[in-house]
């Protein structure tokens, strides 16, 4: 089974440190706009695909995390966008905790295995309580991106040299992959 790299899903240009959210529909519209900015995809069609998928099941994973997602025509690989929401929004999580961390995942239509691998990678990353706490406290896009992409901030914290918001992103490499459901990406 091919692996999914977080690096292939998210770039700093697709990270929003503070999205002023009116409601879930607004969150989806803004994240779709950001995610497809470098594509020829139709914004309204992609929003409809995501919102229709959300009607069939919940995007709320719990503990303030949501992963709206859909398969869409016109993509050749999965793509994502991440935002911290203000105020938090109700994505229908079973624990009823409003979402303040949202990761939109779009995958190629007709490739369910790629979509599931990418979704598993994102879910594993965001369900980690320490990662979620660092995403909430990171001071800027660069720091958020570092936490999403790498465990280098963990190593830095272990030796007492810094916090995710103070790391030099230029020195990081991304070896984070999901090759099985047991492996943290």
Is residue 69 among the annotated active site residues? Answer: yes
Catalytic residue among 26, 29, 43, 69: 69
CA distance 69 to 180: 20
- What does the angle CA 25 – CA 106 – CA 172 come to, to the nearest 5 degrees? 110
Main-chain dihedrals φ then ψ at residue 161, nearest 5 degrees: -100, -5
Contact 104, 68 (CB under 8 A): yes
For residue 90, the 8-state DSSP code is -
CA distance 133 to 153: 12
Q: At what angle do helices 43-56 and 24-35 cross, to 10 degrees?
A: 130
Q: Which residues are known catalytic residues?
A: 69
């Amino acid at each position: 089974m091919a692996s999914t790299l977080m690096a292939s899903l998210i770039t700093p240009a697709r990270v929003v440190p503070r999205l002023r959210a009116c409601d879930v529909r607004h969150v989806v519209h803004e994240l779709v706009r950001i995610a497809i900015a470098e594509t020829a995809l139709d914004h309204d069609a992609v929003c409809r695909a995501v919102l229709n998928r959300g009607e069939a099941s919940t995007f709320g994973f719990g503990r303030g995390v949501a992963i709206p997602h859909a398969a869409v025509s016109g993509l050749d690989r999965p793509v994502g966008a991440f935002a911290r929401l203000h105020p938090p929004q109700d994505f229908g999580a079973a624990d009823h905790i409003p979402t303040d961390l949202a990761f939109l995942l779009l995958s190629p239509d007709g490739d369910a295995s790629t979509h599931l691998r990418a979704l598993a990678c994102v879910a594993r990353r965001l369900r980690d309580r320490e990662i979620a706490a660092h995403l909430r406290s990171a001071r800027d896009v660069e720091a958020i991106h570092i936490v999403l992409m790498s465990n280098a901030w963990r190593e830095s914290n272990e030796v007492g040299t810094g916090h995710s918001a103070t790391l030099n992103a230029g020195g990081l490499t991304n070896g984070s992959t999901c090759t099985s459901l047991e492996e943290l990406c």
